[in-house]
Structure 1
Amino acid sequence: MNMQVEEAIRGRRTIGRVKQDPIDRRLIEKLLEAATWAPSHHNTQPWKFIVMTGEGRAKLGEGYARVALASLETGIGTALEDRLAKERSKAYRAPVVIGVVCSPSEDPRAVHAEELAAAQAAVQNLLLAAHANGLGAIWRSGEPMYHPLMKDTFGLDAEEQFVALIYVGYPDMQPLEAKRTSVSDKTVWLEG
């Protein structure tokens, strides 16, 4: 599918329901390649991708379960197992889950906030590429993604952190109508 960039930006929507149909690895690699063209200050390219398909998603499920278990006050037996099974199932909501990690550069000029921004820009490129190639995607985050146990589950270094869990698949829903505040309400012009 060939799509103009402005059309892709305006047409992209969060797609939370996708089919479980497999996605060709070359197509996922195409999305990752697009992500790597995001800007980064001093060209540090501070991103890393963890692609999970099939039973590879079990690692994410285990991360969700570990985080939930740590947050539970009490619980034993069937109720606990049901809760942990529900947490593990979150990893299987799409045929492909891409963990996007900010892996900051050791360049002394690198500013942490800019490294995070670059990794998040890579996420936007990935989302636009998914849309342009007929795929649906949702950028998931939330407390479990930032929890030290999730980081530990994936063996991330001390300075690394997830910035997104992108669930990707062929859409199984109609995109919702988008609403945006007028750009004039969000813009200040300073002119001479």
Structure 2
Amino acid sequence: MSLMKIIQNRRSIGKVKEVVPNKEKIEQILEAGRWAPSHYRTEPWKFIVLQGEARIKLGEAYAEINLEEMEQPTAEEKKQAYEKGVKKAKRAPVIIALIVEPVSGETIEWIEEVEACACAAQNMMLMAHELGLGTIWRTGKPTYHRIMKETFNVSNKGMVLGFLYIGYPDMQPKNVTRKPLEDKVEWWTE
């Protein structure tokens, strides 16, 4: 399949089977991320692969964040928060935590480090699609919470950028259209 077809056909796949993709496929996905561009070749990304029971660590972080927002939760509310968090973390057999650890330097811009990690995520999603796997990049307010940073040992200047949920698709993605190119592009020649 041509690169353009891969780009046009890749969709977020929120529902995947419980079958665990083999390690070689996950390593190919990680390798694609490793080859993302980064300004000054800083390679500011770090990937943490969660499989099996290790996913519960993510679920516990979700639960802890949910509980922090409650005033004096009951035992039942604590139990529900834990179950909800673990359920979120078990929506895919493989999850890759995307972490940006910015490099310090006079010429290094923090936002460019984040952008480089986002490029790595895109590379990874495209590679997963080529390998017949589905992905969805999950983010949201809990992703950027200090508890998530603590869970994944992220430095003060770093951040969790999101989570790639990966597995074999268990849904048919919707057909998607895009606005015409001319609606999104301006050509400046003078």
TM surpasses 0.5: yes
Q: 2:79 aligns with which of 81, 90, 97?
A: 81
CA distance in 1, matches of 2:163, 2:151: 14
CA distance in 2, matches of 1:114, 1:183: 26
Counterpart of 2:58, as a letter, is L
Q: 1:29 aligns with which of 13, 27, 30?
A: 27
Could you say what secondary structure the match of 1:164 adopts?
Answer: strand
CA distance in 2, matches of 1:67, 1:15: 25
Residue 132 of structure 1 corresponds to which residue in structure 2?
130
| Sequence identity (%) | 42
Which residues of structure 2 form unaligned runs of 5+?
Answer: none
Could you say what secondary structure the match of 1:21 adopts?
Answer: coil
Which residues of structure 1 form unaligned runs of 5+?
Answer: none
CA distance in 2, matches of 1:59, 1:92: 11
Q: How big is the shift at 1:74?
A: 3.3
Aligned length: 190
Is the CA contact (8 Å cut-off) linking 1:62 and 1:153 kept in structure 2?
Answer: no
Residue 65 of structure 1 corresponds to which residue in structure 2?
63
Give the alignment's TM-score, normalised by structure 1. Answer: 0.96
Cα RMSD (Å) of the superposition? Answer: 1.0
Q: 1:113 aligns with which of 88, 111, 114?
A: 111
Q: How big is the shift at 1:182?
A: 1.2
CA distance in 2, matches of 1:187, 1:74: 52
CA distance in 2, matches of 1:66, 1:110: 34
Q: How big is the shift at 1:79?
A: 3.0
The answer to whether structure 1 residue 9 and structure 2 residue 7 are counterparts is yes
4+ aligned runs moved over 4 Å, structure 1: none
Counterpart of 2:77, as a letter, is A
CA distance in 1, matches of 2:148, 2:61: 5
In structure 2, the CA distance between the partners of 1:74 and 1:183, relative to structure 1 (3 Å rule), is farther
Is the CA contact (8 Å cut-off) linking 1:21 and 1:169 kept in structure 2?
Answer: yes
